[in-house]
Structure 1
């Protein structure tokens, strides 16, 4: 007897096999995720490391948004600097690959290690996540 439509037959163990798509979760959740983040962007690694070390010494990897914003205003070479590096909420696919990878893998309230993209050197602070 075949399994009901849309169901898989149980294996020898009697357990239902897990569909590969079910393991990944609904595909639409991946495309609907949003992150609220701030960042500091510098062309030169040395300048970015100076900002990073200030933040790291005062707060470890969990600076407040206000503290991160003050340092972003001083050091960042991005137009978002005047807003304290605030990028607001953005969905997957909006930012360049390495930036997106870092931002979507950080826990809210944590700051990234310095990393490089084609735009320059970055530090990211994730403030929130939503589906």
Structure 2
């Protein structure tokens, strides 16, 4: 992930971050913890093509999100190994802990706006299309 990124356009089919239950559209409303945390631990799926990320996200919706369930990191990791085109896909999409300022653009915005245990909606950056699972945050 580099320091560049562009916000997803509403006409591009990508979306903004969703809250932890994966219902509704629009940005998650950050709590004080989301605004002030310094580090976040995430997994992600990165695909060059929008259709491929939507296919992966549909599996997340059918298996967990449509029921309001949280996506277990191990299950997200299996999908990352299957769909992600990022080298981290081999590690289940695990990006580990990273501080504010390391990732740029929409990736950082979505990573720090997604509640712990929450899964973002698909969104676009200069690297392609992503879905993020937030596993933790700390100061």
Superposition TM-score, scaled by structure 1 size = 0.75
2:109 paired with 1:101: yes
Deviation at 1:96, TM superposition (A): 1.8
Indicate the SS of the match to 1:77: coil
* 1:78 aligned partner: 86
Summarize the alignment of residues 1-131 of structure 1 with structure 2, pairs less than 5 Å apart: 30=36, 33-60=38-65, 62-131=70-139
How many residues are aligned here? 103
Unmatched 5+ stretches in structure 1: 1-24
Separation in 1 of the partners of 2:74 and 2:40? 18
Deviation at 1:53, TM superposition (A): 0.3
Indicate the SS of the match to 1:107: coil
Following TM superposition, where does structure 1 have runs of at least 4 consecutive aligned residues deviating by more than 6 angstroms? Answer: none
Indicate the SS of the match to 1:89: strand
Unmatched 5+ stretches in structure 2: 1-31
Structure ranking higher on relative contact order (CA contacts 8 Å, 6+ apart): 2
